[in-house]
Each structure stands twice: as C-alpha cells, then as structure tokens.
Amino acid sequence: MKIQLKKRYIKFTPVQILAIGFAVTILIGAVLLTLPVSASNGRYTSFIDSLFVSTSAVCVTGLVTVDTGTHWSYFGKTIILILIQIGGLGFMSFATLFALILGKRITLSDRLVMQEAMNSFKLQGLVKLAKYILVFTFSVEAIGAFLLSTQFIQDFGVLKGIYYGIFHSVSAFCNAGIDLLGEFTSVTSYSNNWIVLITIALLIISGGLGFSVWADIYNKKTMKKLTLHSKVVIMISLILIIMGSILMFLVEYDNDKTIGNMTSSSKILNSIFAAVTPRTAGFNSIITSDMTSAGIWLTIVLMFIGGSPGSTAGGIKTSTLGIIIFSAISLIRGKDETVIFRKRISKEAVMRAFVIATLGITIVVFVTMVLSITEAGAPFEYILYEVTSAFATVGLTLGLTTKLTVVGKIIIIITMYFGRVGPLTLALALARQKKSSIRYPEDKILVG
C-alpha cells in the first residue's frame, strides 16, 4: 500500500514578500553589524543597537543609537551604506539587477512583486522602469558624490573625502539622513557651505519625488502632458518646500541659537534646508533641539506628510495630502466628486487617502502615548517628534534617541519598520479588496 503525500507550498502574496524581504534584510544587516569587524574598537556591538541601526538604514530613517561616524569601522560603515541603498531602492530593484546581470528571465510573479514595490498602476513596462530606476539613481548619486567630495576632500583628505562624498550622496538621495561627521552633529558644521547644503537638498528632493514622476518628466517633457499623479506630486511638493521655507525663516529669524546670528543669505539657505530635510531625509544644518516651539511643530507637520509614492521617502505622501485637500475643497463647494485639474478622482482613491492619513495619525498618537510611559521624564514634545520621525522614516531627533530604554528602542524599531512597509502595504491591500455584492440600506448620521 503506497501512501502519496501531497507537497504543500506556502504561497506568499506580493505584499507579504515585500514585508518579509525587508525583515530578512534588516536581520542580516543586524547580524553583520554585531561583529567585532564592524566596530571601530574591534568589539561586539549589542544586538539591540545593531538591530536599531540596521532597521534605520533599511527603512531609510536615520535615527541611530550609536554615533555612526565614530562607532563603526569602515567595514561597518560600508554595510550601513549598502543597507541604505537597498532600503532606498527596494530589494526587488536589486533582485532585478542581479537577474538581468545573470541573464535570468523575469517571471510573472516577480513582476507582481515589482508592481507592489514600485507602486505602479500596471504590469507593463516594469522591467524597463526598474532599469531606468537603477540608471537614474546611480547617475544622480554619482553627480552628488562628486560635488560633495570637492568639499569633503578639503577637510578629510582625498580618499576619506571621496568616501564621505559617496556615503552622504547615497544617504541623501535615499532620504536616509545618516551621516559620518561624528558626535551626532549631522551637517551643522557646513551650515554656511552652499555647495554641501544645496547638493544634499537637491538629492533629497530628487529621491523624494518618486521614480515614476521622473520617468514621466523624461518622457513627456512638458507640464501639460504629465500624468495627473505627477502634476499633483510636483504641485504639493513645491507648495510644501516654498511655504515651509518661508515659515521656517519667519519662526527662526530671531533665534540666536539657530539662524539668528547668520547673514541674510545663510538664513535663507538654512531655512530652505530645514524645510526640505523633513521630507524625509533627517539631515540638519542647525541644532534641532535649539529650534523654537513653532519651528519644532512645523518640522513635525512636514515630517508626517513626507515625500511621494514610489520614492525613497516616507510619510503619508504628498499625493495623499493632495487628494484630502481637494476633497475638502470639493465638499465645501457642494460637489459630490473630487476633481483635480479637471480630472475626477475615484471614491476608492479618496477613501484610501483618508484611511492612510487617519491610520498614520492613530499610530503616531498611540506610540507617543506608549513611549510617554516607557520613557518617563522625557518631554512630550521630544517624544512626539521622535515618534513622527520614526513613522515617517525621517531621522531627525531632539536628542531622545540615544536616551531610549531597551523597550523604547524596540518600539521605535517597530515604528520605523511599519513606517517603511506599512503604509504602502495598507494602500495596496485596500486597492485590491473585492467589492461586496451585498448592499445595506442607507441611513444618516449627524457630522460636525
């Protein structure tokens, strides 16, 4: 009598593959960072700190519990650099790169995962888009590395200056915000250096706009021919940068601890940088803890909004904010549908935008409440700032990161991971839910 056992294979959805892929990458990075060869003192680094830094790098957040510039050896720094690049582009982009190099065929299942990772509307042209993303990324990072190296070489020598140029260019384009300048100072020592700050700002903006937007700009050439998505992303991004810069200039103008004692041109430069970096890079040219309360709260708002879909940035995304704003305008005007640039937005897209924003606020509020218990004695403003920075994968801090308890570190690790994977996963999951054939009777609830 023969007994035949059926082989059962566990099938993962594209969304699950993405979540697992990020988790595995984080764990591999954490293990490598614990090794003595990764630390400058040749000793083992605690697993919780290694896991925190690995999560921060892969989730392109920028929060660190140990000083990146002094704690890690060049091996450790290079591991962090690779993790940032993988996290910024997504591990599927690298998987596609290796498949193309080895001459392997990109299967349908691979394309489905790529579609989830790239936030694409369709399967057609994904491999071509992946190639474009890789070429575009490495080209922009190379230009940024060259410009930054011209400044760092003057301070650190040729080899170290070039390495620093490459590291900070990748960190800026991938919106990670991790730096090697030591003592948790970020780029404050370059607050009057236009080349460094403008280069980093442009890299942040480039990475935060989204690859599909850049592909659209390259193919369409003119603003009129761009897709609605690209138009909304560019419009909201410009508004946030311009308004953010103006407001930051006004609230910090007389603050002697930040830009108060700077020249007018340096005040403008650092105000622009302070408005760009929360979207969601994490570099800072002025000491964040010295900012006014208004400046801190403005930064929190900018961090929560973040960059654009399909980019290296986090947050609830500019397009989400755009849909919410235009939906509110349409409602106030008494219109039943949301219209942007004479194009109607589906009710499903409007619903997803409101759900993503609501869940984002809920997560930030809940985690802030929990950390208020675990980090007793820390100012509420510091905790909210830290949580928003972690959820939106920004990396800015008021100095709380290094003072976190073990429980606090674990909570922030989970928040960073969810911030990188969760919103994307949630949006795509909602977009693919099957419509119910059951319709219930309508009733009314008073609102407002």
- Tens digit of pLDDT for each residue in 11-57? 555 556 666 777 888 999 999 999 999 999 999 999 999 999 999 99
State the pLDDT confidence band at 5, using cuts at 50, 70 and 90: very low
Residue 109 has pLDDT above 60, yes or no: no
Burial of 369 (0-12, 13-18, 19+ CB in 10 A): exposed
Q: Which of 29, 1, 139, 5 is nearest to 417 (CA)?
A: 29
The fraction of the chain above a pLDDT of 90, given in percent, is 50
pLDDT at 3: 47
pLDDT at 137: 87
Residue 447 has pLDDT above 80, yes or no: no
Domain locations in the chain as residue ranges: 14-106+125-431
Q: Residues 197, 201, 207, 212: is their CA dihedral positive or negative? A: negative
Residue 70 has pLDDT above 50, yes or no: yes
pLDDT at 291: 94
Residue 113 has pLDDT above 70, yes or no: no
CA–CA–CA angle 139, 120, 438 (5° rounding): 165
State the pLDDT confidence band at 430, using cuts at 50, 70 and 90: very low
Residue 341 has pLDDT above 90, yes or no: no
Burial of 5 (0-12, 13-18, 19+ CB in 10 A): exposed
Q: Which residues pair with 72 in a beta bridge?
A: 39
Residue 432 has pLDDT above 80, yes or no: no
Residue 214 to residue 411: CA distance in whole angstroms? 35
Residue 425 has pLDDT above 70, yes or no: no
Most confident range, picked from 6-10, 213-217, 324-328: 324-328
For the chain, what is the radius of gyration of the CA atoms? 22
State the pLDDT confidence band at 384, using cuts at 50, 70 and 90: very high
pLDDT at 152: 95
Pairing mode, strands 338-340 and 343-345: antiparallel
| pLDDT greater at residue 273 or residue 99 | 273
Q: Judge contact between 175 and 313, C-beta under 8 A.
A: yes
pLDDT at 6: 47
Residues 6+ apart with CB under 8 A from 224: none
Residue 302 to residue 280: CA distance in whole angstroms? 8
| pLDDT greater at residue 187 or residue 309 | 187
Give 291-335 as a DSSP string.
Answer: S-HHHHHHHHHHHHH---TTSS--SS-HHHHHHHHHHHHHHHTT-
Residue 129 to residue 134: CA distance in whole angstroms? 9
Q: Judge contact between 258 and 295, C-beta under 8 A.
A: yes
How many CA within 13 A on the CB side of residue 219?
12
pLDDT at 424: 52
Q: Judge contact between 392 and 280, C-beta under 8 A.
A: yes
Give 47-106 as a DSSP string.
Answer: HHHHHHHHHHHHTT----SS-HHHHB-HHHHHHHHHHHHHHHH-HHHHHHHHHHHHT---
Residue 173 has pLDDT above 70, yes or no: yes
Coil, strand or helix: which one is 144?
helix
Joined together, the tokens standing for residue 179 give 């730096």
pLDDT in tens, 350-375: 888 888 898 899 999 999 999 999 99
Joined together, the tokens standing for residue 133 give 């993303």
Q: Per-residue pLDDT averaged across 324-353, rounded?
A: 87
Residues 6+ apart with CB under 8 A from 256: none
Q: What is the average pLDDT score of the chain?
A: 84
Residue 1 has pLDDT above 80, yes or no: no
Q: Which of 313, 308, 342, 309 is nearest to 326 (CA)?
A: 342
Q: Per-residue pLDDT averaged across 90-110, rounded?
A: 54
pLDDT in tens, 82-99: 999 888 776 555 555 555
